[in-house]
Amino acid sequence: MADAGGSKRLWLEEDIESDLRWSYTVKSILHTGKSEFQDVELVDTGPFGKVLLLDGKLQSAERDEFVYHECLVHPALLAHPCPKTVFIAGGGEGSTAREVLRHKTVEKCVMVDIDGVVVTFCKKHLDVNKEAFEDPRLELIIGDARSGLEGYDGKFDVIVGDLADPVWGNPCYQLYTQAYYEMCKSKLNPGGVLVTQSGPAGVLSCTEVYTVIHNTLKQVFPKVVPAAHHVPSFADTWGWQIAFCDEATGAELGEAEIDARIAARVEGELAHYDGRCHARSSR
């Protein structure tokens, strides 16, 4: 009895909005469970390979997670002249850390995620991040990202926000406020860079949180550069904001310079991000 592979009867339904649904076929259910903080599901799907869902929202798909994670991490780290210390707020899945640790300049990467169950789970199941989780440069803390950063003894060159979207009442909401960004800024070294995922950025969805996050960051940082890229499994274009402590650090790099910095600083081949992609993603 070989694997059916192609059943069109088992579906995973994700509500993108209350009036818009994204459904993909399911090949097998690798895990469904609940942590203290959220529903956790790992499902092997027809169109996207293995996908991780938190509270029913797809966070990462085997087939295209490289788009989201490369676009989150590399523009910010490459914009910095020499990032040695990186803080990740959230990122429990490990893919963000994986991309950060490809940068040869990075000496320490501190990641604080609130959900130990998700971290343990991803460590075990996501082969692609195994190496990152074992990298001695990674310091992994289970706890609240805000207090983890505030109480951390030392400052960082880059802070990466890889968090669920801000939703009223949801604890992540606190990690998208002006007060939080001010605290972040105080924990950045001179010339420091902050990047945060900033929700859907499609032509119809960008007003939900993307532009709001941009404007909040502008209250705190002198220069904030938006970026966006379509992520198929998210069923939308996704957005990021890169905020600079110094306008100088944020000077726009040409395609050739991006490609040169990648070649010089990043271990291995990137699957997606390069100078061309940089130009297209910039808003």
Ligand X SMILES: NCCCCNCCCNCCCN
Known catalytic residues are 162
Q: Considering only residues 102-141, where is the footprint of ligand X by CB under 6 A?
A: 113
Q: How far is the CB of 142 from ligand X (least distance, A)?
A: 12
- Contact with ligand X (CB under 6 A) among 110, 164, 188, 195: 164
Angle between helices 210-218 and 178-186 (to 10 degrees): 50
Backbone φ and ψ for 25, nearest 5 degrees, come out as -70, 150
Q: Which does 164 bind (CB under 5 to 8 A by kind): ligand X, a second copy, none?
A: ligand X
Q: Which residue number, 92 or 250, has a Cβ lying nearer to ligand X? A: 92
Q: How far is the CB of 183 from a second copy (least distance, A)?
A: 32
How many angstroms separate the CA atoms of 65 and 111, rounded? 19
Q: Kindly give, in sequence order, each residue whose CB lies less than 8 Å from that of residue 163, ignoring residues fewer than 6 positions away.
A: 89, 90, 145, 172, 175, 176, 196, 197
How many angstroms separate the CA atoms of 44 and 26, rounded? 6
How many angstroms separate the CA atoms of 57 and 41, rounded? 9
58 binds ligand X (CB under 6 A): yes
How many angstroms separate the CA atoms of 102 and 97, rounded? 9
Q: How far is the CB of 115 from ligand X (least distance, A)?
A: 7
Binding mask 69-108 for ligand X (x = CB under 6 A): ---------------------xxxx---------------
41 binds ligand X (CB under 6 A): no
Tell me the C-alpha to C-alpha distance, in Å, between residue 199 and each of 8, 162, 234, 241, 243.
Answer: 30, 10, 10, 10, 16
Q: Which does 234 bind (CB under 5 to 8 A by kind): a second copy, ligand X, none?
A: ligand X
Instruction: Name the residue type at position 252.
Output: E
- Contact with a second copy (CB under 8 A) among 64, 65, 157, 162: 64
Q: Considering only residues 176-215, where is the footprint of ligand X by CB under 6 A?
A: 197
Q: Kindly give, in sequence order, each residue whose CB lies less than 8 Å from that of residue 136, ignoring residues fewer than 6 positions away.
A: none
Structure token pair of residue 168: 């009223």
- Contact with ligand X (CB under 6 A) among 25, 30, 44, 57: 57
Binding site residues, ligand X, CB under 6 A: 16, 57-59, 90-93, 113, 162-164, 197, 234-235
